[in-house]
Structure 1
Amino acid sequence: MKQLIESFTRQLRHALEIGERAAVTFSGPKYNNVVLAGMGGSGICSSILQAYVADKLKVPVVVQKSYTMPAFVGPDTLVIASSFSGNTEETLSVVRQAMKAEATVAFVTSGGEMLRTAQANSMPHIVIPSDAGQPRACLGFTLVQQLYLLHYAGLLDDAFKTELGQSINLLEEQAGSIKVQASALANSLRGRLPILYACDALAPVALRFQQQLNTNAKQLAHVNVLPEASHNEVEGWQQPAELFGKLAVLYIKTGYDHPRAQLRMALARPVLERQVQDVLEVEAMGATLLEQMLYLIHLFDWVSLYLAGLNKVDPNTTDNINYLKVELSKV
């Protein structure tokens, strides 16, 4: 896992090369809506993409992390299905329903049933390397190809390419400081349940961090989003008081947060500080939202790796996930 995290910028560069070389054409009608289908590492890429394009696309984008397809899907829908293995059962279920609804289906995968389906039906697809390592460490490959598919479909301009290049430069420039910051944060979260708060723009980044803590550090975490959390969860910081000593609050901040959401976060801080020892903060670096997202994703990946070391667990294993997959395959 350490090598995969260290090679993140190389992965992004390789992903750009793959996207540029991709021979993808779309012959369908003008798309009135987009559905991004995926689970786990692929699904979080869809959530990040949805947040990034929220102010760029003129059509609604829905992320689908389930077995079912929304009823509105039809011939004017673009469905982008992502699965590293190409065999994710929930995503395959969505693909079959989308094809039945005569939607345009495009794929990001390394192989499996999805690649066979795409090739057999001459459907748009981009193939990512099958030897890239753990699927959850392939965010760069999947996210970048999703961006390219939106671009080739005529929905997204090519500004993302420049932003990706800037993101790579930022991560390379800050490589040393990122590790130092990640190590300090990991030590602050050791032995505690991280409570992660972010505003809307960074909600999927916070969720990605939770997932990396789960899978790499084998540690639970909780995520909530501002401003919504200030309408309900803030009131819950009263019970059970005996647990508060085992909690660690982390504010994940960006200049893209809405000013009123920032104010709510600031006003909630004294409430939290009455119950926990420290309210930690991490602020994104970068000139664009994409740069800031990728900066935090890389930082938090290092945190999860350092926490795995502190927790004395193997970040490469996923025994509980594998158990569920085996048992599901029997039914």
Structure 2
Amino acid sequence: MTILDDIKKMKSIDKSDVYGSIEQLPQQCIHAYGDCETVMVPESYIDINKIVLTGMGGSGLGARIMESVYALEIKHPLIRINDYDLPSWADEKTLVICSSFSGATAETIENAKQAIKRGCKWLAIGSGGTLIDLAQENKAPFYKIIPTYNPSKEPRMAVGYSVVGQLSLSSKAKIINFTKEDLERICSLLEEIVKKCNVEVPFKNNQAKKLAKKLFNKIVIFVGARHMLGALHTVKNQLNENSKTFSTRFDLPELNHHLMEGLVQPSSNKENLFFLFIDSDLYPEIIRKRLKITEDVVEKLGIGSYTFKVAANAKLSQAFEFIQFGGFVNFYLGMLYQTDPAPIPWVDYFKNRLGQPLGQWKKSK
């Protein structure tokens, strides 16, 4: 029997219940939307002409998903910052959305302080800490996450809270249109994926378990485009941290201008690399054509691949579809390595060396 059908064994490895956080993604989304309904965003926040989204690691996933899904719809210039400094043009006509699950992320705290200093309109998303303190002190709107449905307490596994929080507050600021109907459609889809991919479903009938086996002992290269890029980054982020696996992401059409030649050497690429292509009927026809030809090139180079086609009929739903499915794949891959997915010792080591706080959730575990 494969370990992926040994529920007792997997529970003994997954000491912090990362699996529970994956399975409860629909509940996270519903909880976040309900809590955000009480957040008041002033009318003045609509009077902006530039948008900055900030956040690091798991706390920055909402920004990436919003950026990719709504890229062609948002009327104002939008930039995502994963660094310490806001752009020089950030001013009183700029809306800055700062996200940090712990509320202690150094880069995001600095972003918030700069937004305050420059008179930007700004919003905060976090579970507490300095970020929420700054918002309260400066009377900025904020969504304080109460992570009831994130039993692992890992920020990267609070993706439903951070993403729906970002979408809800952005909708209140009239940047995008995100409705309760959108939420209900997404959660219905996520619940169907949970039914098909949960631990109770045996390997022979479980697409997520089967894909995890294909990725075992491989360097995973994600390939996608347009509205799926934020979701690809989310799954890649969780693959790094939950499966302790190296992976990277390339975007179409950009990769067609350089990456293919880089696959020739070293000769070990054939054994070590594995491409995960994300296909969608919502891609423009030229992107779908590029995807098919890229699949052909990878096959001719003798490198393994798998194509996952998202089935939902809306861009945001497709993004969430892959996040939910990818969460299960990442968990099962970690189980194949017999590695507890929760601890991130090298990230914690780095933060300790840097003198950066780990956040209240790390301290409480």
> Match of 2:280?
254
Tell me whether 216-225 or 236-245 shows the greater mean CA deviation.
236-245
With normalisation by structure 2, the TM-score equals 0.87
The one-character-per-residue Cα deviations of 1:26-83 (angstroms, maximum 9, x if unpaired) are: 4346110110000011112111011122233211211100011111111100000000
SS of 2:42's equivalent in the other structure is: coil
* Cα-Cα RMSD: 1.7
Matched, 1:43 2:65: no
> Match of 2:9?
none
> Match of 2:185?
166
> Match of 2:33?
16
> Match of 1:67?
84
Matched, 1:209 2:235: yes
Q: CA deviation at 1:226?
A: 0.5
SS of 2:44's equivalent in the other structure is: coil
SS of 1:105's equivalent in the other structure is: strand
Q: CA deviation at 1:285?
A: 2.0
Q: CA deviation at 1:256?
A: 2.0
> Match of 1:224?
250
> Match of 1:235?
261
> Match of 1:316?
342
Distance in 2 separating the partners of 1:273 and 1:256: 24
Q: CA deviation at 1:103?
A: 0.6
Distance in 1 separating the partners of 2:154 and 2:256: 36
> Match of 1:152?
172
Distance in 2 separating the partners of 1:130 and 1:92: 21
Q: CA deviation at 1:223?
A: 0.9
Matched, 1:325 2:351: yes
Paired residue type of 1:169:
S
Contact 1:163 1:288 in 2 (8 A): no
> Match of 1:134?
154
Distance in 1 separating the partners of 2:303 and 2:268: 13
Contact 1:35 1:63 in 2 (8 A): yes
Contact 1:249 1:276 in 2 (8 A): no
Distance in 2 separating the partners of 1:321 and 1:330: 11
Contact 2:135 2:141 in 1 (8 A): yes
Cα separation, partners in 2 of 1:266 and 1:90, compared to 1, 3 Å: same
Cα separation, partners in 2 of 1:89 and 1:193, compared to 1, 3 Å: same
SS of 2:28's equivalent in the other structure is: helix
Contact 1:111 1:130 in 2 (8 A): no
With normalisation by structure 1, the TM-score equals 0.95
Distance in 1 separating the partners of 2:43 and 2:125: 15
Q: CA deviation at 1:202?
A: 1.2
Contact 1:24 1:126 in 2 (8 A): no
SS of 1:251's equivalent in the other structure is: strand
> Match of 1:58?
75
Distance in 1 separating the partners of 2:78 and 2:350: 30
> Match of 1:107?
124
Matched, 1:125 2:142: yes
The one-character-per-residue Cα deviations of 1:243-284 (angstroms, maximum 9, x if unpaired) are: 321211111111222211211121122221122353211011
Matched, 1:273 2:299: yes
> Match of 2:360?
none
SS of 1:27's equivalent in the other structure is: helix
Tell me whether 53-62 or 135-144 shows the greater mean CA deviation.
53-62
Distance in 2 separating the partners of 1:18 and 1:56: 26
Paired residue type of 1:139:
V
Distance in 1 separating the partners of 2:38 and 2:207: 36
SS of 2:71's equivalent in the other structure is: coil
Paired residue type of 1:64:
I
Which of residues 166, 175, 180 in structure 1 aligns to 2:194?
175
Tell me whether 106-115 or 15-24 shows the greater mean CA deviation.
15-24
The one-character-per-residue Cα deviations of 1:205-256 (angstroms, maximum 9, x if unpaired) are: 1111211111000000121001000011012121111232121111111122
SS of 1:154's equivalent in the other structure is: coil
Matched, 1:91 2:108: yes
Distance in 2 separating the partners of 1:309 and 1:29: 46
Distance in 2 separating the partners of 1:85 and 1:31: 28
> Match of 1:34?
51
Uncovered stretches (5+) of structure 2, i.e. residues with no partner:
1-17, 199-205, 358-365
Contact 1:35 1:61 in 2 (8 A): yes
Uncovered stretches (5+) of structure 1, i.e. residues with no partner:
none
Contact 2:123 2:140 in 1 (8 A): yes
Distance in 2 separating the partners of 1:144 and 1:330: 27
Contact 1:42 1:142 in 2 (8 A): yes
Q: Would you say how many aligned residue pairs link Structure 1 and Structure 2? A: 330
Q: CA deviation at 1:9?
A: 0.9
